[in-house]
Chain A
Amino acid sequence: MLQPTKTPMNAIAGYMLDGAMRSLDGFKKGAYATVNDPPPVTPYRVVFESGKVRLRHYAAAGKHAHRTPIVLVYALIKRPFVLDIQKGRSVVEHLTGAGFDVYLTDWLPPNPTDTWRGFDAYVNGDLDKAVRFVRAITRSAQVTILGYCFGALLSLVYTALHPENVRNLITATTPFDMGVRELPIYNIVERMTEETIDLVTRVHGNCPAWMVQSFFTAMAPAHHALDKYVGLYRNAERDGYAEQFDLFERWMSSDVAMAGRIFREMSGDIFKRNQLARGEFEVGGRKVEVEQIRCALLNVVADHDDVVHPLSSLGLVDRVSSRDRRNLTFPTGHVGAMVSGAAHKKLWPQIGAWLGERSN
């Protein structure tokens, strides 16, 4: 990383050059590779690997206070180190510190033989095996599932299809009702024809990582092209800012390809036709009915979310059959819910307390 110089233009240009090099580095590694993960904040052990999931175990720190283990379900489209990014800003550290055993799904990037993988393979295959493994090694009849973003969607589908295995469900920034078209970028995806979606997978097999990244970049082009570097210049003197920026950028460039079939299901069935919210979405020949969810549900919604609009998530609690259910809204953005200092001071203690009451 370049050091700030006295000329703003020079410094900003230097940061932009760094960013361009980082993007090129990611591109050089190819469509199926990802950037290297930074060293973990919380130590872990890989305890199980099957299909496209590698299950990491983070042991409860100090006193092992809660019996129900947590299965943290991360999204398929970026690397999971954002959940354990920095001391004091780590979701994993927070949960293990509160006495929970945490098992994190580290999804492996799909290769050209994985184009057939859809929700069925990921949810009824990999995630179900991971949950079964956690139940077996912890001798727990049920687990807590905590999903973030796309991971929350996988968690939701899993809990609806296998309600007997889940004691508590926490969904954070869940794309549930995709009929909500408040975010402008959604209009572009809306205009993509079925043929275009199909062509992506016919040409590339899986949806390439650069395509996933382009979607995120297009959401705030001015920010990604210039403003974030200007922000770095303006905050260069703030303690720890440059380090946080570097880690965050690394995560932003850590896009992972999406398996062909799940890309088609996500773009066509869930996004364009809103089948999940309508109760028409089918996985492995079974309808996914969120009404089947009876466990305790905490739905975390970020008020300023610009990736999943809050209105897409809020309606979920009204649809499940759980008696114990609530929305927990917090004034932050999509990623802020996981990494911001404010979220770790105020939001995560609330989530920890909610879980603590329901995990023994």
Chain B
Amino acid sequence: MKFFEQWNRFSEAMVEMPFVVVKSLFAQKGEEGRDRTLQMDLQQAGWKAYDAWVQLLNESANGLYASPEVGNSVGRSMEVSLKWQRLGSAMRDAYFAALWPAVGLPSGAELTELRAEVGALRDDLAMARLEAEEARAAEIEVPVGERQVGDSMTAMWNGGWTPETAPFVRKRGEDAPAN
């Protein structure tokens, strides 16, 4: 239906064009303003016809897509072309698989493996960073007293813990407390 609507619009525009051309041919020369108006009319009619033509093209393409025959043949041709590509790439792979090691270069499969390993390392790093941020966020949410206990527990577990409140421990720059 839309196609016929567009077709009617296109026909109307095509009928209008010759009228505007004839009008401009019979117009008296010399009046500048009149000449310009006629030129603009001609231009407008031209663009109108062009727009109608583009719409008609779009509707024709849509009509083609909607057709089951076209859909089936596009699907089939895609399948055939992919099968040929598959055959071509299998032959290419077989040829280069022998060539690369012969010239001392890594094969495609080896490069893919290396890429996967690098990717996995990057993911490990990202995960560690994410967990660190989550741990930091969780620490901040814990009430102050509990966090201090948590911090010292972690420090004790990981080493490097110094009991700041314990007596007889000399802090940097301080003398030992007198007993």
Interface residues of A (CB under 8 A from B): 48-51, 111-113, 129, 132-133, 135-137, 139, 184-185, 187-188, 190-193, 195-196, 199-200, 202-203, 218, 220-223, 226-227, 230, 234
Contacts and interface: CB of A to CB of B under 8 A. Distances in A.
Contact of B61 (A112, A191, A222): A222
A111 B57 contact: no
B130 A112 contact: no
B89 A203 contact: yes
A113 B119 contact: yes
A151 B66 CA distance: 28
Contact of A222 (B54, B137, B141): B54
21 contacts: A48-B129, A113-B116, A113-B119, A135-B137, A136-B133, A136-B134, A139-B141, A184-B61, A184-B62, A187-B66, A187-B71, A191-B68, A192-B75, A193-B79, A199-B82, A202-B86, A221-B58, A222-B61, A223-B58, A230-B50, A230-B54
B73 to A, nearest CB: 9
Q: Which of B65, B67, B136, B141 has the most CB of A within 10 A?
A: B65
B34 interface: no
Given A111-B115, A221-B61, A193 B75 contact: yes
Contacts, number: 98
Contact of A139 (B61, B112, B115, B140): B140
- Chain B: interface size category: 35 or more
Contacts of B68: 187, 191
A240 to B, nearest CB: 22
Contacts of B54: 222-223, 226-227, 230
Contacts of B137: 135-137, 139
A223 B75 CA distance: 23
B71 A190 contact: yes
B114 to A, nearest CB: 9
Given A51-B123, A51-B126, A139-B137, A196 B58 contact: no
B11 interface: no
B72 A184 contact: no
B103 to A, nearest CB: 21
Given A139-B141, A199-B82, A187 B130 contact: no
Nearest to A201: B82
